[in-house]
Amino acid sequence: MSVHRVMGIETEYGISVPGHPHVNSMLTSSQVVNAYAGITGLDRASKARWVYADESPLRDARGFDLSRADADPSQLTDDDHGLANLILTNGARFYVDHAHPEYSTPEVTNPRDAVLWDRAGMVIMQQAATAASAQPGALPIQLYKNNTDNKGSSYGCHENYLMQRRTPFAEIVRTLTPFFITRQIMSGSGRVGLGQEGRKHGYQLSQRADFFEVEVGLETTLKRPIINTRDEPHADPELHRRLHVIVGDANLSEFATFLKMGTTALVLTLIEDGIVLPDITPEKPVATMHAVSHDVSLSKPFSLQSGRRVTALQLQWEFFEASAKHCQDKFGSAMDEQTREVLDSWETLLNDLERDPFSAADRVDWVAKLSLMEGYRRRDNLDWNSPRLQLVDLQYSDIRPNRGLAQLLEDRGSLRRLTTAIQVEHAVSSPPEDTRAYFRGECMRRFTDSIAAASWDSVILDVTGQDSLKRIPTLDPLKGTRAHVGHLFDEAQSAEDLIQLLRR
């Protein structure tokens, strides 16, 4: 399967009205989402609802259901609170979750597409915030692609990967735990402040690491686990599980997102193909995760259960070597281009981090940010508790193109970009063509007024003159592609036509 597999990214953005820290963020988040509905005409589909009947956030991959009475209210993500909730013409979902605006990319099949539709989400968020701020009497709303306020709160950037159901979950836990603990050296976004509330002064690799408290579990909002067991496949549950990864930072560097998705997909392939890496289990996973994030030198070893001492870099080399060998054995010279690109990029980056971490400033968020920090510390003689450094940390993730520091670095060519503005503009309004997101997005684009509801695995049409709603299931993420249904959209003039054509 290589780096090609069904995947997606969901990101909760930080939201703020500068100067008004006590404004109700559920309300401002709703204003942002609703303003986007207004400027895109999606408010015409005001009937369109997200179908929660298809969701089961309490299903546990280990094989049991958490009862609703035992669940923390924040885990009940399937309750319809009447909060803003949009399905976009690019197949994405844009909604309010836990007092943050959240964008879930459409399902894509490879890391480059994940980068593109994630970047489209940033543009959508900014257009939405600009529109919301322009409402009469509104205060300016600013959005941040980060994961903490440095005062004890964290919000997530989750990755999703479709996996084979038959793969034992214990194997996933065994191999992914050390991988997640150490991949921060490539995918951390950098943070000023140590500890959940950032009280201890210093710099660390990850925005998220300090908020993880247990090894395995169902929760996402409290006692966060390194391996999340939520098991809502949004696909045939006999064949698939959806691996819901909650440990990652939201990346500003497109390269970092690309490598995060690509390397994780490769490690999942190792697991599914039964390749066992020996002797990789950390003695204390949670403490090690924090320690790796706190070690900017990338040189401090930690203990494995076997007693072996390794660094994060060493373990990443072992994952790389195993992946490179497996891909070579499996594909040889027929290896696809993107898989080769991920392997090459991974190898080059590990070499660079080993030789001189600062040489990775054009690809890795925590290094780019640290370079700025060290510049300020030297020039202005600042300590790690300086509010100015905390501001640089925060503003790095400001999504406004003229104020966000990551985008400023991109514009001057100091941070690598994988997408072009034209590609992103297209992805803002158009779905990927090789997943069911194509069907969902095209339905939304062409028949906005007739969409009664939608979810990842269905679209429900409300057709004039018919007394019942028509539910079109889309359980297979790799069907409903342009190749499957493109000709239907060429032919159908209305939602009614589409239903007729589907019946043939």
Partner 1 sequence: MSQERQQRTSTPTEVDEVTAAAPVRNDLSADVDSILDEIDDVLEENAEEFVKSFVQKGGQ
Q: Active-site positions? A: 97
Nearer to partner 1, 19 or 274 (CB): 19
Q: Minimum distance between the CB of residue 280 and partner 1, rounded to whole angstroms?
A: 27
Selected from 36, 95, 117, 155, the binder of partner 1 by CB under 8 A is 155
Considering the rule CB under 8 A, would residue 190 count as an interface residue with partner 1? Answer: no
CB 461 within 8 A of CB 498: yes
**Of 474, 489, 502, nearest in space to 6 by CA:** 474
Beta-carbon-side half-sphere exposure of residue 496 (alpha carbons within 13 Å) = 6
Q: Would you say 325 or 403 has its CB closer to partner 1?
A: 403
20 binds partner 1 (CB under 8 A): yes
| CB of 32 or CB of 277, closer to partner 1 | 32
Cβ closer to partner 1: 21 or 168? 21
Site residues (CB under 8 A) for partner 1, limited to 59-118: 74, 97-100
458 touches partner 1 by CB under 8 A: no
Q: Which span (177-185, 279-287, 370-378, 496-504) binds partner 1, by CB under 8 A?
A: 370-378
Q: Does 164 bind partner 1 (CB under 8 A)?
A: no
Alpha helices in 22-70 (DSSP H): 25-40
Which window, 85-93, 153-161, 443-451, 475-483, contacts partner 1 (CB under 8 A)?
153-161
Three-state secondary structure string covering 469-488: CEEEECCCCCCCCHHHHHHH
H-only helix segments in 332-364: 337-355
- Residue 242 in the binding site for partner 1 (CB under 8 A): no
Nearest distance, CB of residue 98 and partner 1, angstroms:
4
In terms of CB distance, is 209 or 280 closer to partner 1?
A: 209
Beta bridge partners of 197: none
Does residue 405 interact with partner 1 by CB under 8 A?
yes
Give the span between the Cα atoms of 3 and 423, in whole angstroms.
21
195, 221, 349, 476 from 291: Cα distances, Å: 11, 22, 21, 41
List 87, 181, 361, 452, residue binding partner 1 (CB under 8 A): 361
Place of tokens 């600009």: 130
Q: Find out whether 313 and 178 touch, Cβ atoms under 8 Å.
A: no
User: CA-to-CA distance for 410 and 406, rounded, in angstroms?
Assistant: 6
Q: Pull the structure tokens for residue 419.
A: 């997408």
* The two structure tokens encoding residue 159: 């990755």
- Cβ 151 to partner 1, closest distance in Å? 6
Asked if 127 touches partner 1 (CB under 8 A), the answer is yes
Smallest distance from partner 1 to CB 395, Å: 6
Q: How far is CA 111 from CA 87, 121, 271, in A?
A: 22, 15, 18
According to the binding rule CB under 8 A, does residue 149 interact with partner 1? yes
Report CA-CA distances (Å) from 461 to 93, 226, 292.
17, 39, 50
Give min distance, CB of 220 to partner 1, in A: 4
Among 56, 167, 221, 494, binds partner 1 (CB under 8 A): 221
For tokens 């560097």, name the residue.
Answer: 253
Can residue 392 be called a binding residue for partner 1 (CB under 8 A)? Answer: yes
Q: Which is nearer to partner 1, 164 or 221 (CB)?
A: 221
Residue 305 to residue 504: CA distance in whole angstroms:
60
What is the DSSP secondary-structure string of 138-155? PPP-EEE--SB-SSS-B-
Which one of the spans 257-265, 288-296, 324-332, 365-373 is the region binding partner 1 (CB under 8 A)?
365-373
Sign of CA dihedral 120, 122, 123, 128: positive
Say whether residue 259 binds partner 1 (CB under 8 A). Answer: no
Is position 150 an interface residue for partner 1 (rule: CB under 8 A)? yes
Q: Which of 63, 332, 379, 468 binds partner 1 (CB under 8 A)?
A: 379
The stretch near partner 1 (CB under 8 A) out of 30-38, 46-54, 136-144, 436-444 is: 136-144
Cβ neighbours for 255, distance < 8 A, ≥ 6 positions apart: 345, 362, 363, 364, 416, 418
Cβ proximity to partner 1, 368 vs 492, nearer residue:
368
- Of 2, 104, 189, 220, the residue at the interface with partner 1 (CB under 8 A) is 220
Report the site for partner 1 in 413-452 (rule: CB under 8 A): 413-417, 419-422, 424-425
Is 281 a binding residue for partner 1 by CB under 8 A? The answer is no
CB-CB contact of 79 with 50 (8 Å):
no
Q: What is the DSSP string of 415-482?
A: S---S-HHHHHHHHH---SSSTHHHHHHHHHH-GGGEEEEETTEEEE--TT-SS-EEEE---TTSS-H
User: Interface with partner 1 includes 233 (CB under 8 A)?
Assistant: no
Structure token pair of residue 180: 């997640």
Interacting residue with partner 1 among 358, 433, 472, 488 (CB under 8 A): 358
The interface region with partner 1, picked from 37-45, 359-367, 451-459, 468-476 by CB under 8 A, is 359-367
Please report whether residue 381 would count as binding partner 1 according to CB under 8 A.
no
Window of 268-276, 372-380, 474-482, 496-504 that interacts with partner 1 by CB under 8 A: 372-380
30 binds partner 1 (CB under 8 A): no
Among 71, 123, 275, 499, binds partner 1 (CB under 8 A): 123
Q: Contacts with partner 1 in 308-347 (CB under 8 A)?
A: none
